[in-house]
Amino acid sequence: MSRSGLLTKKQAAEVFARLAKDRPDPRTELDYSDPFTLLVSVVLSAQATDVSVNKATPALFKAAPTPQKMADLGAEGIAPFIKTIGLWRMKAKNVAALSRTLIEEHNGEVPRDRDALQALPGVGRKTANVVLAEAFGEGTIAVDTHVFRVSNRIGLSKGKTPDQVEAHLMRLCPPEYLRGAHHWLILHGRYVCQARLPDCPACAVRDLCRFRGKTTPESPARPAASARGSLSVRTKPRAKKSAAAGAKTRKK
């Protein structure tokens, strides 16, 4: 461990190597066919499940597969397609507004640029990172609640904010693991290193982890391994998508 309390780069590389072992190429579970439909799907997924988004988007994208058609639909036209998704009113407005912005400022294309993405209605840093990584293959790490908690527990970060955690991860994560890091840490947080009761005896990185409240075989967590069948990221390369990119509803 380094003086800062963080793992060393070598230890961090070992953490990612172990987390990556069973899932070498994790991808988002959101269904999309190009950067625009990814952007819309990511926006719709704010505080909602990927499953709920995937149920709603086929009909929406059939009606409006491009920024122009989505803008033509407008918030009122988008709303009926997404009423099963939480925060649908705000999301309908944001999807319509970001579609107009793409047309007016980016020739109808999703920009491969963080600042331009974050300038879109409803798109924050986390969403921009997801889009940059998933759609364009950029080495970015989106920090959500799982990534934040797991990174701080293991010693990959000592950050008090998502931006600080992202900065630590970007420094410690080897380049070859950057694209998958977000997914591996989410999966680890969802199924092993759960918030209230981490399953430390079953954890692949327990010998490296710096968390002081580890559970033990004598005080085990409830079995988390049984949940692993419902991973929300794909573990194998998906069929070739036609392109890439996305965004979001509330700044996230």
Site for ligand SF4, rule CB under 6 A: 153-154, 192-193, 198-200, 203, 205-206, 209, 211, 214
Collapse the DSSP code of 219 into the 3-class scheme (helix H, G, I; strand E, B; otherwise coil) and give the result: strand
For residues 96 and 65, the answer to whether their CB atoms sit within 8 Å is no
Alpha helices in 79-160 (DSSP H): 88-106, 114-118, 125-136, 145-154
Whether 115 is a known active-site residue: answer: no
Task: State the catalytic residue, choosing from 144, 214, 241, 251.
Answer: 144
Residue pair 59/166 in contact by the 8 Å Cβ criterion: no
Minimum gap (Å) between residue 193 Cβ and ligand SF4 = 3
Cα separation, 62 vs 95, in Å, equals 15
Give 115 or 207: the residue with its C-beta nearer to ligand SF4: 207
Asked if 199 is an active-site residue, the reply is no
CB of 177 to ligand SF4, least distance (A): 16
Kindly state the smallest distance separating residue 205's Cβ from ligand SF4, in Å: 5
For ligand SF4, the closer of residues 20 and 79 by Cβ is 20
Of 217, 216, 204, 229, which is closest to residue 150 (Cα–Cα)? 204
Question: Toward ligand SF4, which CB reaches closer, 84 or 216?
Answer: 216
CB of 14 to ligand SF4, least distance (A): 13
Tokens of 225: 């391994």
* First-to-final CA distance of the chain: 32
Catalytic residue among 34, 91, 93, 126: 126
Evaluate whether 102 touches 245 at the Cβ level (below 8 Å). Answer: no
In the bound state with ligand SF4, the residue whose beta carbon lies nearer, of 119 and 202, is 202
Q: Show which residues are catalytic.
A: 126, 144
